[in-house]
Amino acid sequence: MRANVAAPALLNRPEQLLYGRLVRAFPGHIILSRVELSRLLAGADSAPARGGEVMSAPRRPSIADFVVCRSDFSALAVVEITIEPPRDTERERNRRRDRSLQSAGIKVIRLACHDLPDEAALKALVAAHPLHASTEQLVRRAS
């Protein structure tokens, strides 16, 4: 017989806390975790090849930490957790990702893992942020 070995948690502690808060903040919505951006952008960055297949350069997929979806599974907002301040290369990559998501009508919220907002603040952040705010404007920092 095999020994029961516990599978590792799929979300780390800050992600677990944020997931619970998102679920409570957005009743009637669907909260998804670790969604490939290509699913949200529906080929916006890739050109169709023959036969309708999408061709792109091989690379590690870009993943959204959380996606708040309406009941029809359309994306309302992407919520990202930052562990430490991004380096210049990450900051530019984040800007490009945010512009792509925003042009698809999806809000982007970036939160510092050490300063996760409560449910009311999460609702206010999603409601208050315009679609075309800069990444720096969307990062919630500790006071």
The model's pLDDT over 40-71, given as tens digits with 9 standing for 90+, comes to 987 544 444 344 444 444 566 789 999 999 99
User: What pLDDT was estimated at residue 135?
Assistant: 45
Q: What is the pTM of this model?
A: 0.75
Domain-embedded: residue 125: yes
Q: Which helix (H) or strand (E) holds 130?
A: none
Domain-embedded: residue 2: no
The model's pLDDT over 98-124, given as tens digits with 9 standing for 90+, comes to 999 999 999 999 999 999 999 999 999
pLDDT band at 136 (very low <50, low <70, confident <90, very high): very low
Domain-embedded: residue 51: no
Instruction: Kindly report the average pLDDT of the chain as a whole number.
Output: 81
- In angstroms, rounded to a whole number, what is the distance separating the alpha carbons of residues 141 and 143? 6
Give the count of domains, the chain: 1
Domain-embedded: residue 27: yes
The answer to whether residues 78 and 100 touch, using CB atoms and an 8 Å cutoff, is no
Domain-embedded: residue 50: no
User: What pLDDT was estimated at residue 53?
Assistant: 47
DSSP 120: H
Domain-embedded: residue 88: yes
Would you call 135 helix, strand, or coil by DSSP?
helix
We report the CATH number of the domain holding residue 100 as: 3.40.960
* Domain span at 121: 13-38+60-140
pLDDT of 90 > 90? The answer is no
User: What pLDDT was estimated at residue 54?
Assistant: 46
Domain-embedded: residue 7: no
Domain-embedded: residue 48: no
Percent of the chain with pLDDT over 70: 75
Which residue is associated with the tokens 């512009």? 99
